[in-house]
């Protein structure tokens, strides 16, 4: 392959990150203008592979925001810590502390979830940019809910057809822990929503599960215990290693994921004192159907 004097490949190179999902691209510099057709390739790679990691970036919040605006409309959460002057660009830090409880260390998203399923129109895409990443730990895991759905027995698919679930900030069930949040008023902002258990992706037309265990209060029309059992079974099915990609962060990764067909999980397993600092942009999504 030819390369420029800076050592970057002259042509961006895409490579799969795992057999089932995830693709990385090297040789793109988001400080400049993208080559003609490149945005369409990035968008398609994300739709095909659900997680897109643009490696080796050295960008500020304005460039991050401009990049993500190509993919959609950023959401503003004034109550979440953000970069000064950029309310769309929130931050996730190893220094985050629980504002509602004991003031202990807060790892955002440490259980399997999809972002904002308790909203009526949950987030379509989330992007994290790794400003500081730990040498060990702090991986983000992703589970492919298209493949998890496809792999279900026909009888289960039949059972799920037409089922709807109630999603909320703090479901009333045992074993999901308490809500830990960076946001003081997040409870007040959270009204329950009802979403299909199987949704069809608006861009790919593919069906996937749409689950987020710790935000699911129950299945509409089902006994509570039975609904919880079904949610637990679907979650256990979806997070089998064959459906999971575990992203080991490199500094300068800009990783974008599709909340409509994945669940993901943060790992707070890096040693105390080691820093992890991410900038984050969430893009608005549609009502799931
Ligand atoms: C998120 C999230 C995972 C991580 O930003 O929504 O779940 O690994 N983050 O920080
Ligand atoms: Mn998340």
Q: Is 183 in the pocket of ligand 1 (CB under 6 A)?
A: no
Asked if the structure places residue 199 within a domain, the reply is: yes
> Is residue 88 lining ligand 1, measured as CB closer than 6 Å?
no
Distance CA 49, CA 257 (A): 9
What residues are paired with 86 via a beta bridge?
A: 83
For ligand 2, a single-atom ion, which residues have Cβ within 5 Å? Answer: 109, 115
Cα–Cα distance measured from residue 20 to residue 13, given in angstroms and rounded to the nearest whole number:
19
Tell me whether residue 121 is in a domain.
Answer: yes
Span 184-195, mean pLDDT? 72
What is the reported pLDDT for 187? 58
CA atoms within 13 A on the CB side of 261: 26
State the pLDDT at residue 9.
55
How far does the centroid of ligand 1 lie from the alpha carbon of residue 27, in Å? 25
pLDDT digits (tens, 9 = 90+) for 145-162: 999 999 999 999 999 999
Q: Has residue 2 been placed in a domain?
A: no
Measured in Å, residue 154 CA sits from the centre of ligand 1 at 33
Domain count, the chain: 1
What's the pLDDT score for residue 191?
Answer: 80
Question: In 10 A of CB 168, how many CB atoms?
Answer: 18
Q: What is the pLDDT of residue 3?
A: 47
Across the chain, mean pLDDT equals 92
Specify if 51 maps to a domain.
Answer: yes
**Residue 201: which pLDDT band, with cuts at 50, 70 and 90?**
very high
Cα of 155 to ligand 1 centre, how many Å? Answer: 34
Q: What is the pLDDT of residue 5?
A: 60
How many residues in total does the chain contain? 289
Residue 89 near residue 77, CB atoms below 8 Å: no
pLDDT of residue 284: 97
Residue 3 forms part of a structural domain:
no
pLDDT of 188 strictly over 80: no
253: left (phi over 0), alpha (psi -120 to 50) or beta: beta
**Is the C-alpha dihedral spanning 211, 217, 218, 224 positive or negative?**
positive
> Which residue has a Cα nearest atom 4 of ligand 1?
266
For the segment 104-128, what is each residue's pLDDT rounded down to a tens digit? 788 888 899 999 999 999 999 999 9
Residue predicted with more confidence, 143 or 102? 143
79 is a domain residue: yes
- From the CA of 114, the nearest ligand is 2
Whether residue 133 is contained in a domain is answered as yes
Average the pLDDT over 91-115 and give the result: 86
* pLDDT at position 2: 44
For residue 195, what is the domain's CATH number? 3.60.130.10
* pLDDT per position as a tens digit, 209-235: 999 999 999 999 999 999 999 999 999
CB 16 within 8 A of CB 9: no
Query: Ligand 1: which residue has its CA nearest to atom 10?
Result: 266
Q: Is 117 in the pocket of ligand 1 (CB under 6 A)?
A: no
254-258 β-sheet, strand order? 13-16, 23-26, 51-54, 254-258, 125-132, 277-283, 86-93, 82-83
Which range of residues forms the domain containing residue 110? 13-283
Supply the pLDDT for residue 176: 72
Q: Would 106 be classed as within a structural domain?
A: yes
CA dist., res. 98 & res. 203, Å (int) = 37
132 CA → ligand 2 middle, Å? 18
| Ligand 1 centroid distance, CA of 11 (Å) | 30
Task: Please answer whether residues 106 and 97 qualify as being in contact, where contact means their C-beta atoms are separated by less than 8 angstroms.
Answer: yes
For residue 74, pLDDT over 70 is answered with: yes
């Amino acid at each position: 392959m030819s390369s420029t004097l800076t050592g970057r490949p002259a042509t961006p190179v895409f490579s799969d990150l795992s057999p089932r999902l995830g693709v990385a691209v090297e040789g793109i510099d988001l400080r400049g203008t993208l080559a003609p057709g490149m945005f369409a390739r990035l968008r398609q790679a994300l739709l095909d592979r659900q997680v897109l990691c643009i490696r080796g970036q050295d960008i500020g919040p304005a460039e991050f925001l401009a990049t993500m605006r190509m993919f959609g409309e950023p959401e503003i959460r004034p109550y979440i810590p953000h970069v000064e002057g950029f309310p769309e660009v929130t931050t996730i830090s190893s220094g985050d502390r629980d504002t509602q409880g004991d003031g202990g260390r807060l790892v955002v998203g440490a259980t399997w979830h999809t972002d904002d399923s308790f909203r009526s129109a949950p987030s379509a895409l989330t992007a994290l940019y790794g400003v500081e990443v730990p040498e060990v730990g702090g991986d983000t895991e992703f589970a492919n809910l298209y493949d998890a759905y496809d792999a279900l027995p026909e009888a289960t698919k039949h059972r799920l057809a037409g089922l709807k679930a109630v999603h909320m900030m703090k479901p009333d069930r045992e074993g999901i822990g308490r809500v830990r949040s960076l946001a003081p008023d997040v409870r007040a902002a959270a009204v329950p929503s009802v979403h299909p258990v199987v949704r069809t992706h608006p861009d790919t037309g593919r069906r996937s599960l749409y689950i987020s265990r710790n935000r699911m209060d129950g299945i509409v029309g089902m006994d509570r215990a039975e609904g919880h059992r079904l949610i637990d079974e679907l979650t256990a099915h979806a997070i089998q290693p064959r459906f999971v990609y575990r992203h080991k962060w490199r500094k300068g990764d800009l990783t974008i994921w599709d909340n409509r067909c994945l669940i993901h999980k943060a790992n707070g397993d890096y040693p105390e004192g080691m820093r992890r600092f991410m900038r984050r942009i969430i893009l608005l999504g549609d009502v799931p159907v």
